[in-house]
Amino acid sequence: MEKVTGGVTAAKGFTAGGVHCGIRKSRSKRDLALIFSEVPAEAAAVYTTNLVKGAPLLVTKAHLADGKAQACVVNSGNANTCNANGTLIAEKTCALVGAALGIPAEDVVVASTGVIGQPMTMEPFERGVPAVARDLSKDGSDRAAEAIMTTDTVKKEVAVSFTLGGKTVTLGGIAKGSGMIHPNMATMLVFLTTDCAISAPMLQKALSTDVQSSFNMVSVDGDTSTNDMVVILANGLAGNEPITEEGEAFSLFMQALNSVTVALCKALAADGEGATKFLECAVTGARSLADAKKAAKAVICSSLVKAAMFGSDANWGRVLCAIGYSGAETDVTKIDVAFRSAKGSITVCEMGASVDFSEETAKEILSEKEITIAVTMHDGDASSVAWGSDLTYDYVRINGDYRT
C-alpha cells in the first residue's frame, strides 16, 4: 500500500473541479464541486440515519438503485434540506450536469452541505454547472475539496495505490466535515473514487462494512447531520480481474479502502469546529468488538472528557464515567487508563482506581495537539479505536452565530 497524490482524481479516468457559483456570499470561496468518471462506474453509498434528510440524499438513493453512476455534483453554503422545492432543485441540478457532460441525469450523484432550511433557487446552479464542467481536470481534486468545505479550516484529501492481480489499482477521496459530526452510517460528505474493477454488490458490501470501524467511530459534537453521505465510484480502468466475491482480492481492496477512510476520519476529527486537539481513544482487552466500540465512542463523545482535554486536565474519572454509561459489558474494577502524546505516556488509573502520578507531567503530555486516551479493560482480546476533538470556547462561538 503506497500513499500517492491526487485525492479524488488519483485513480485512472477521474477528473474534478470546483468553482464559485453564488450560493455563498463570499466570491472568494468555491461553493460547487464536480467529480467525473470518463466511463460509467459501479457505485455504492451509505446515508445518514437521521429522519430529517436533505433532498439530495433521496434523489441520489434513487439514482443509485441500479448501482451505476458517472458523476458527483456537490454544493456548499446551503444544505438543501427542509425546502419545499428541494427535490426539484436536486433533480434539475442532475439534469444540468447530465447535459453538460453528455450523460444521463440518472447517473449523477447530488449532494449538498451548509445551513438547513434556507431558501434555494436554481439560478446559481444554472450559472455554476457549465462553469464547473469546464473546470474539470486531472489536478482538480484540490479545487473540489475546497468547494465542499463549510466551517472546515483545511481541505481533506488522500489516495493510495496497491497491486491487484499484477495491475496497479488506485483509490482516493475527499471529505468535508467540521461540525455536526456524529454519524451513524457514514459521515459528513465523503466522495471516494477507484479504478478497481469490482461489482456494485461487492462495492456496497465493502463500504457498508468499512464505515462501521471508520466513519461511525468519529464524533466532534454528538450531532448526526441531515446530509451525511459517503459515495464510492469504481470505473474498472485499472484492468484487474473484476472482484465479484469475497476472497484475497476483496480483502486487499478492503485494506486499501480502510487506509483511505481512516486517514479521512482522522482529518475530520482533527478539524472539529473550534478544536485545538485531535483525540484518539484506543480500547483494548474488551469482551467483544461491540463492547470495545461502545466504550471508545462514549469516551470520545463525552463533553466532560473533551473539555478536560482542552484544559490539559488529567481528569481520568470522566473517562471511567463515560465507559460506565456506554452500555459496554465490563468489570469497571479491572480498567486501566493512560494518557499518551508525543511528550510521553502516563498511567492515571489502574484496576478502576487512582494511582499516584505527577499532575505536572500529565499536563505536559496533554498539552500536545494529538492525544491518545488508552483504555485497557482486561475482559478479553477485542479492541477498537474512536476519534474526536476537544471542546473549546470557539465551538460555541462558531455555532452561536453560524447562520447570522
Distance of CA 112 to the CA centre of its chain: 15
Contacts of residue 25, defined as CB under 8 A and 6 or more positions apart, other chains included, come to none
The predicted structure's pLDDT at residue 220: 73
68 vs 177, higher pLDDT: 68
Catalytic residue chosen out of the listed positions 48, 81, 93, 187:
187
Quick: pLDDT tens for 170-196. 999 999 876 655 666 554 699 999 999
53 falls in which pLDDT band (50, 70, 90)? confident
pLDDT at 293 over 90: yes
- Which pLDDT belongs to residue 166? 96
Report pLDDT for 381: 97
* CATH fold match for the domains 2-270 and 278-400: no
* C-alpha–C-alpha distance, residues 212 and 222, integer Å: 17
The average pLDDT across 19-26 equals 90
Q: Are 286 and 332 in contact (CB under 8 A)?
A: no
Q: How many CA atoms lie within 13 A of 309 on its CB side?
A: 30
Residue 181 confidence (pLDDT):
58
- Which pLDDT belongs to residue 126? 97
For residue 269, the model assigns a pLDDT of 84
Query: 327-369, pLDDT tens digit by residue?
Result: 999 999 999 999 999 999 999 999 999 999 999 999 999 999 9
Q: What is the predicted pLDDT for the residue at 346?
A: 98
Q: Is the pLDDT of residue 223 over 70?
A: no
Percent of the chain with pLDDT over 70: 95
pLDDT value of position 402: 64
- pLDDT tens sequence across 135-166: 999 999 999 999 999 878 889 999 999 999 99
pLDDT band at 49 (very low <50, low <70, confident <90, very high): confident
Nearest to 279 by CA among 250, 249, 302: 302
pLDDT value of position 228: 82
Q: What sign results for the dihedral spanned by CA atoms 35, 38, 40, 42?
A: negative
Residue 403, pLDDT score: 63
| Cα-based torsion angle of the residue sequence 383, 388, 391, 392 in order, rounded to the nearest 10 degrees | 140
Torsion region of 190: left, alpha or beta (phi above 0 gives left; psi -120 to 50 gives alpha): beta
Report d(CA 296, CA 183) in Å as an integer.
15
What does the H/E/C string look like for the chain? CEEECCHHHCCCCEEEEEECCCCCCCCCCCCEEEEEEEEEEEEEEEECCCCCCCHHHHHHHHHHHHCEEEEEEEEEEECCCCCCCHHHHHHHHHHHHHHHHCCCHHHEEEEEEEECCCCCCCHHHHHHHHHHHHCCECCCHHHHHHHCCCCCCCCEEEEEEEEECCEEEEEEEEEECCCCCCCCCCCCEEEEEECCCECHHHHHHHHHHHCCCCHHHEECCCCCCCCCEEEEEECCCCCCCCECCCCHHHHHHHHHHHHHHHHHHHHHHHCCCCCCCEEEEEEEEECCHHHHHHHHHHHHHCHHHHHHHHCCCCCCHHHHHHHHHCCCCCCHHHCEEEEEECCEEEEEEECCEECCCCHHHHHHHHCCCEEEEEEECCCCCEEEEEEEECCCHHHHHHHHCCCC
Q: What is d(CA 100, CA 97) in angstroms, rounded to the nearest whole number?
A: 5
Indicate whether 221 pLDDT > 80: no
Write out 250-277 in H/E/C secondary structure.
HHHHHHHHHHHHHHHHHHHHHCCCCCCC
> What's the pLDDT score for residue 248?
97
Burial (CB count within 10 angstroms: exposed 0-12, middle 13-18, buried 19+), residue 40: middle
Domain at 2-270: CATH architecture: 4-Layer Sandwich (3.60)
Chain centroid offset of residue 164 CA? 26
Burial class (CB in 10 A: 0-12, 13-18, 19+), 22: middle
Q: Is 284 among the residues known to form the active site?
A: no
Q: Looking at residues 243-249, what average pLDDT do you find? A: 97
**Domain 278-400 is found in CATH 3.10.20.340:** yes
Most confident of the ranges 54-58, 181-185, 268-272: 54-58
- Comparing 15-29, 210-224, 301-315, which segment has the lowest mean pLDDT? 210-224
pLDDT of residue 225: 66
| pTM greater than 0.85 (yes/no) | yes
Question: Which value, to the nearest 10 degrees, does the dihedral of the CA atoms of residues 199, 202, 208, 214 take?
Answer: -90
Instruction: Please give the grid coordinates belonging to residue 20.
Output: 464559485
Q: What is the residue extent of each domain of the chain? A: 2-270, 278-400
